[in-house]
A and B are shown apart, each in its own frame.
Chain A
Amino acid sequence: MSWLPIALVAVPLLGALAAFVPAVRDSAVAWGIAVSAAVLVLAVALAAVFDYARPAEMQLQTDQPWIPGLGLRFHLGVDGVSLPLVVLTALLTFLCFVHLAGHPPEGGRTGGLVVTLLVLEVGMLGTFLALDLLLFFVFFEVVLVPMYFVIALWGGAGRRQAAVKFILYTLLGSAVLLIGLLVVWTQAGTLDMVALAGRHGSGIARSAQILAFLAIGLGLAVKTPMWPLHTWLPDAHTEAPTVGSVLLAGVLLKMGSYGFARIAIPVLPEGAAALAPWLGAFAVAGIAYGSLACLAQRDLKRMIAYSSVGHMGFVLLGFASLTPVGLNGALFANVAHGLITGLLFFLAGAVKERYGTADMVRLGGGMLRRLPYVGSLLTFACVASLGLPGLAGFWGEMLALLGAYRPAAALSRPLFLVFMAVGGLGTVLTAAYFLLMLSRVTHGRAVETVSPAGPPEPAASLEPAAPLEPLPLEPALPLEPAASLEPVPLEPVRPGATGAAGAAVGAAVGVGTREGAEPGRGRRPFRDATAHELAAWLPLVALIVLFGLWPKALLAVTTPAVQSLLGSGVAP
């Protein structure tokens, strides 16, 4: 019995309720930061009291009767599989609020957005903590509604359609998931995930396992998303506001893949073994298809959305191998993708906010000159995403491929070798689209850029030596309003470079952001990363580097856990 998991779910819920109090509503964002910071502290506390000597066991459990008539229990807990995701969720939500403080949503109604995001956090954390199948499903569903509103109310031009597609598609998936969960319940007679996982499928007939795996897998595959069930994703990502995209890519997609690791594979091992070749085939099809789709995209946010299809393909390939190393890779890639794609969407949002468009053709080139920090960080995030060793993106994909090289004994090895080869080519295509995008957007000279309203800015001048358009509030900030606005210090630096100096610069510039934002958006000059943006981005950068250089930080937690999930019999 531990109060920590309950507090993790209760604090954001109470926070959301309290946000309706008028006194709180006036400073909604500050309230949101406070609540999400408290949740982050709780999550870090959870990680601190977690016993790393036995990460395979469920720890800090709380198990209360919930609906005794049906045998449902309010059962929460963490192990090595869920702990990183809980912390990731708390961190990303907190960073979203920090970002929100400097960049209020375009649609206004900030208080509403804060409430929505807090409810979203309840669902996301609950999903990763739940240890009862139906409780898992409830939290899984709780997430949909706030995300629908985030897209439908604060999204871009095509938000209505995207939001409807998102909710209908994922609800349909959830319905199938529920059927699968009910099959498990009727066959095994319990909803307790720990007990079910401990049995490793004994007590459920093979045919029922296959059926249940199919239903659960399809439901989760919509969320993950797996090709060809992915088409809700690009629309939702493109239309969602920055914070929505970040949470959608950073956490919501992980709920699907987490379901594979927590439910589908350990509870239904025979079903998994029977359907793993199909899962693998769809996974690598997604890798190749997603990468190719990225190669021909024009819209920056849409491209990053499709890149998620490719990256989640690696996660699914790792699961499909049914080996400890493959599952390890999948879980690592999960966390890495959350960090990296979260950062990418933050950056894409920053670009869209400044240029007024995310269309690569209209963005033109020369971002490294116009926005050195944003451009450098974008380079960093892309390099991390394409799987450079030494950054977080590499290990997950490498281990997933290694899992496919020698899949579980029950699976056809030649087939998985083909999968591995396709996945390997997928990494080349991944590098191709990211580098082409960087080449288009960050390199070259800024000449073709258009501004959302009004004439093109003279800042986009032909001479690289010409100073950029001066800040209108320059008199108020006499001392170099920004090193970033000078024509000289333009380095394609690796992002860490922003560091303290960058934060200071951002602070100086950030003052003007909110004042200048309201009137005449077209006249707003380009300003580089603000303090709030840097505060939201740099933790992600630090973690990407940390996990890249020291993968053991994550693998030491997940390795024993996945070994116990698979049972000793399945591993080769």
Chain B
Amino acid sequence: MIAVVALIVLLPFAAAAAGLLATRLGTRNLGPRAERVAYRRAAWFAIVPGGVSAALTVWLAASLAGGAGTSEGRFWSELLPGRVEGTLTVVETGSVPISLTLRDDGLSVLTGILVVVVALAVQVYSVGYMRDEPRYPSYSAFVSLFTSAMLLVVYAGDLIVLYAGWEIMGLCSYLLIGHWWEDRANSRAAVKAFLVTRLGDVGFLFGIFVLGTAAGGFRIDDVLRADIPQGTLIAATLLLLAGVAGKSAQVPLHTWLPDAMAGPTPISALIHAATMVAAGIFVVARLYPAFLAAPPTLDVLGVVAAVGMLGAALAALAQDDLKRVLAYSTISQLAYMGAALAAGSDLAAMFHLVSHGAFKALLFLCAGLVIHHVGSNLISHMGGLRRALPITFWTMTIGFAALAGLPPASGFFSKDAVLSAVEHGTGPAQPFVYASALLTVGVTGAYAARAWLRTFFGPARVEPLAEPPPGVAHVFDGREAPRSMLWPAGVLAVPALLLGLAGSAAGSAAGVKVEWGPAAVSLAVALLGAGIVYALWRSAPEQDPARLLGPFRVPCERAFYVDAAYAALVARPVLRLARAVVRTDARVVDGAVRGSGRATLGLSGLVRLAQNGNAQLYVTGLFAGLVLIAVAAVVLT
């Protein structure tokens, strides 16, 4: 069975290799048709292996459900009790061995299903979205490579293997954000995303070192079973948390995610909303016993999450770029998952992860449809699109309802699970986290309502654009986007709407129930937020309801100037230091070298004075020496 797991991971990898190497093979003689052939081939390479991977994942889930109960008391052990592990080889490093291990249990399969389904939807969607894109083959190959890397993270049975997948995801994210690299801004966004996450990843790697060295092995099972002193565990988990904050875009390493929206919209849906950013949460859940044994880490996570969820939600309320609204909302929703983990419920976190993955991918795909139609990312260019894009309108409405947590959409149930987990949480920061979470529910309702109303209702503000610059979607003639783009959105709308019911049904089977009291409170708060925005919008549909923020609107729009602070405190000083190093290198370090050369020449000039060819001087010197030696001989003996 472990071969199936390996196949699930390797199929997208093979697809990536084929997409990069084989799409143009032998097309040179086809003339103008070569492009079409390459495009079609790339599409097949992208979709077929992804589809097979998805089918195999479902089969795997079914076989796990009937497996023997060997998982030890984690939340999935009732539903998916099976467990498989296989080691390809053990690499001796001289100290702690690395084992190339894959494992598969309930947690992996739950996340794996999310990954393959969203990835497949995005690949199908991209076929239409990137139709006129000459670099589509490399694009789809990178998406495949990303899928493979994410699956490697999900199924890794060894921390170093996990880290490998973790970093390759970062590379794919870099390559895909910078897909339209003609525009310098996209290139900068890509570099920023890679560097910020890499900074966190250094901590992550050191955390792995601490755990692996303490446990005597990097295999996840060994690490979780090992008897590690609490101080070591706290250090390790805090270091891991740095990587989690980087990948999952949590404060203070969240600044790359909004900029990452420079990439093509399907990429925003796949990587920067549904899967890669969820990897951080997944890793915490994977190593949850270690985190539970280190309460201070969970407290830190709780505070980080509380700050992030509210700040990002406020920032989302003030953005004008539709994708940036969704990006900040992603940060905010990921913070919910973090808060649930901090409160001790990995079940709630994973539930919200899966439902958020579905509805946020849906929202991004719908945003792509809207942007495709309008030719601009800015909400202020949209409006009244309800009639022109009826299918998009309905699917996106489902997405916004789920985001705001309105029943019966999936977000209602998962967010309720998170809120009740936070309510029952312990720890010194719990009141703060709970207050922040509740407040964020209201703000979430407000920004969801604002984006929804400004996009689909009110006066139409669509202006025909000339040829759009790269990085902005193409202008389309038709009313709706091609069917290959509508289908994935429609398919994702189903889980976004129904997953909550299914999840809560499965949850009640596992003994977890929806708590209707807190649910009603949060629903009321969300409706209150949405209602305020609606009232404002109603009074003046042509104006932005974000004006309700008053003087805080600009700070919110700039995301509280965190970017500017980082530029002033980190980026510019480092560059200044770099220039200083170059100057030092030329003047001091190399100057010493050149100076020693000059000094040698100068010394030789001095010595040459004695070698002036004057025989009298030589004899005098000789005689003086003789006298000196004679005197010394007399005096010393």
Partner of A488, one of B35, B168, B574: B35
Residue on A nearest B149 in the bound complex, by CB: A390
Chain B residues with Cβ below 8 Å from A556 are 91-92
Decide yes or no: A492 and B578 within 8 Å by CB, A439-B191, A479-B29 being known contacts.
no
Given contacts A405-B213, A488-B134, A492-B181, 9 further A-B contacts (CB under 8 A): A296-B581, A326-B94, A424-B203, A424-B206, A428-B195, A428-B199, A439-B188, A442-B181, A444-B184
Residues on B with beta carbons closer than 8 Å to the beta carbon of A107: none
Whether a CB of chain A sits under 8 angstroms from the CB of B138 is: yes
A420 and B94 contacting across the interface, CB-CB below 8 Å: no
- Tell me the B26-57 residues at the A interface (CB within 8 Å): 26, 28-29, 34-35, 38
Most chain A CB within 10 A, of B89, B164, B175, B190, is at: B164
> Is there an interface contact between A490 and B167, defined as CB atoms closer than 8 Å?
no
Would you call A435 and B92 a contact (CB within 8 A)? Answer: no
- Of the candidates A493, A500, A563, the one whose C-beta lies within 8 Å of that of B20 is A493
A interface vs B, CB < 8 Å? Answer: 165, 168-169, 228, 230-232, 289, 292-297, 323-328, 365-366, 368-369, 383, 388-390, 394, 398-399, 401-403, 405-406, 420-421, 424-425, 427-429, 431-432, 435-436, 439, 442-445, 464, 479-480, 483, 488-494, 496-497, 499-501, 504-505, 551-552, 555-556, 559, 562-563, 571-572
Tell me the bound Cα distance from A394 to B579 in angstroms. 27
Q: Is the beta-carbon distance between B575 and A295 smaller than 8 angstroms?
A: yes
Decide: A296 near B578, CB < 8 A? Known: A402-B209, A428-B198, A444-B181: yes
- B24 surroundings in chain A (CB, below 8 A): 483, 489, 501
Query: How far, in whole Å, are A558 and B52 apart by their CA atoms in the complex?
Result: 40
Please, how many angstroms separate the alpha-carbon atoms of A494 and B441 in the complex?
Answer: 43
Check if B599 is an interface residue, CB within 8 A of chain A. no
Would you call B194 an interface residue if the criterion is a C-beta within 8 Å of the partner chain's C-beta atoms? Answer: yes
Q: Which of B340-348, B390-398, B582-590 contacts A (4 or more CB under 8 A)?
A: B582-590
B95–A496 touching, CB < 8 Å: no
Report the nearest B residue to A445, measured CB to CB: B182
Q: How many A-B residue pairs have CB under 8 A?
A: 186
Interface: B93 (CB within 8 A): yes
Docked Cα-Cα span, A443 to B160, in Å, equals 32
B577 neighbours in A (Cβ, 8 Å): 292
| B137 part of interface (Cβ distance < 8 Å) | yes
8 smallest CB-CB distances across A and B, nearest first, come from A324-B94, A389-B164, A295-B578, A491-B138, A325-B94, A443-B181, A443-B187, A296-B578
Residue of B nearest to A431 (CB): B198
Q: List 7 A-B contacts (CB under 8 A).
A: A230-B589, A366-B182, A390-B167, A402-B93, A402-B96, A432-B195, A443-B184
B163 within 8 A of A: yes
In whole angstroms, what is the CA distance A543 to B178 when docked?
Answer: 27
- For B164, the chain A residues whose CB sits under 8 A away are 389-390, 394
Determine how close the nearest CB of chain B comes to the CB of A27; give it in whole angstroms: 33
Segment 227-260 of B: residues with Cβ below 8 Å from A: none
Q: In the docked arrangement, what's the CA distance between A424 and B423, Å?
A: 38
A289 in contact with B184 (CB, 8 Å):
no
Most buried by B among A293, A325, A383, A493: A493
What residue in chain A is nearest B93 (Cβ atoms)?
Answer: A325
Residue contact B581 to A292, C-beta cutoff 8 Å: yes
Bound state CA distance, A327 and B205, in angstroms?
19
Contact B134 A489 (CB under 8 A): yes
Out of B89, B198, B202, which one reaches A552, CB within 8 Å?
B89
Q: Contacting A231 at CB < 8 Å: which of B92, B94, B585?
A: B585
Do B213 and A406 touch (CB < 8 A)? yes
Residues of B within 8 A of A402 (CB): 93, 95-96, 209, 213
Q: Quick one: which of A230, A293, A402 has the most chain B CB within 10 A? A: A402
> Roughly how many angstroms separate A297 CA and B168 CA in the complex, as a whole number?
27
Q: Nearest B residue to A386 by beta-carbon distance?
A: B198
- Tell me if B91 and A552 are in contact (CB < 8 A): yes
Binary contact readout B16-28 vs A (1 if CB under 8 angstroms, 0 otherwise): 0100110011101
Asked if B95 and A325 sit within 8 Å, CB to CB, the answer is yes
Write the nearest CB–CB distance from B608 to chain A, whole angstroms.
20
Q: For B174, what are the chain A residues with a Cβ–Cβ distance below 8 Å?
A: 435
B593 at the interface (CB under 8 A from A): yes
> What residues of B have a CB within 8 angstroms of the CB of A427 in the complex?
198, 202
Contacts of A500 in B (CB 8 A): 25
* Cα(A538)–Cα(B137), bound, Å: 21
**Known contacts A325-B93, A444-B184, A464-B182, A296 near B198 by CB under 8 Å:** no
Residue of B nearest to A324 (CB): B94
Q: Do B25 and A501 touch (CB < 8 A)?
A: yes
**B191 and A492 contacting across the interface, CB-CB below 8 Å:** no
Which residue of chain A has the shortest Cβ distance to B470 in the bound complex?
Answer: A464
Task: Please give me the residue from chain A that is nearest to B138 by CB atom.
Answer: A491
Decide if B171 is an interface residue (CB 8 Å cutoff). yes
Chain A residue numbers with a CB within 8 Å of B209 are 401-402, 405
Q: Among A295, A405, A425, which residue has its beta carbon within 8 angstroms of that of B202?
A: A425
B538 touches A (CB below 8 Å): no
Q: How far apart are the CA atoms of A360 and B202 in the complex, in Å?
A: 29
Interface positions, chain B 173-222, Cβ under 8 Å from A, are: 174-175, 178-179, 181-182, 184, 186-188, 190-191, 194-195, 198-199, 202-203, 205-206, 209-210, 213
A436 to B184 CA separation, bound complex (whole angstroms): 11
**B135 interface contact, C-beta 8 A:** yes
Give chain B residues whose Cβ lies under 8 Å from the Cβ of A231.
Answer: 585, 589-590, 593
CB distance from A333 to the nearest CB of B (A): 13
B593 / chain A contacts, CB cutoff of 8 Å: 165, 169, 231-232
Tell me whether A436 and B25 are in contact (CB under 8 A). Answer: no
Contacts of B94 in A (CB 8 A): 323-328, 399, 559, 562-563, 571
For A232, list chain B residues within 8 Å (CB): 593
**B21 contacts A555, CB within 8 Å?**
no
Q: Bound complex: CA of A228 vs CA of B202, how far in Å?
A: 26
Residues in B with CB closer than 8 Å to A488 are: 35, 134
Interchain CA distance A494-B142 in the complex, whole Å: 9
User: Which residues of chain B are within 8 angstroms of A169 by Cβ–Cβ distance?
Assistant: 593
| A445 contact set on B, CB distance < 8 A | 182
Contact of A328 among B34, B93, B190, B581 (CB under 8 A): B93
The answer to whether A420 and B93 have CB atoms under 8 Å apart is no
Contact A292 B578 (CB under 8 A): yes
Q: Do residues B95 and A406 form an inter-chain contact, with CB atoms below 8 A?
A: yes
The smallest beta-carbon distance between A509 and chain B, in angstroms, is: 13
- Is the pair A296, B575 in contact by a Cβ cutoff of 8 Å? yes
- Whether the Cβ atoms of A289 and B21 lie closer than 8 Å is no
Distance of A480 Cα from B135 Cα, bound (Å) = 19
Which residues 108-161 in B have Cβ within 8 Å of A in the complex? 134-135, 137-138, 141, 160
Shortest distance between the CB of A500 and any CB in chain B (Å): 7
A428 to B253, CA, bound (A): 14
Complex Cα–Cα for A505 and B175 (A): 25
Q: How far apart are the CA atoms of A273 and B292 in the complex, in Å?
A: 40
| Residues of chain B with a CB closer than 8 A to A368's CB | 181
B32 to nearest A CB, angstroms?
A: 10
Q: Which residues of A contact B26 (CB under 8 A)?
A: 501
Please measure, in the bound complex, the distance between the C-alpha atom of A230 and the C-alpha atom of B588, giving whole angstroms. 12
Known: A402-B209, A492-B138. A293 touches B25 (CB 8 A): no
Nearest CB of chain A from residue B91's CB, rounded to whole Å: 5
Do B92 and A293 have beta carbons less than 8 Å apart? no
Given that A402-B93, A445-B182 are known contacts, is A295 also in contact with B574, CB under 8 Å in the complex? yes
**Smallest distance from the beta carbon of A14 to chain B beta carbons, Å?**
38
Residues from chain B with Cβ under 8 Å of A504 in the complex: 28
Which residues from A are CB-within-8-Å of B168?
388-390
Chain A residues within an 8 Å CB radius of B199: 428
Instruction: Report yes or no: A388 in contact with B171, Cβ–Cβ below 8 A.
Output: yes
Q: Which residue of B lies closest to A508 (CB)?
A: B28
A504 to B27, CA, bound (A): 12
B147 to chain A, nearest CB (A): 15
**A144 → chain B, closest Cβ, in Å?**
17
User: Are A383 and B171 closer than 8 Å at their CB atoms?
Assistant: yes
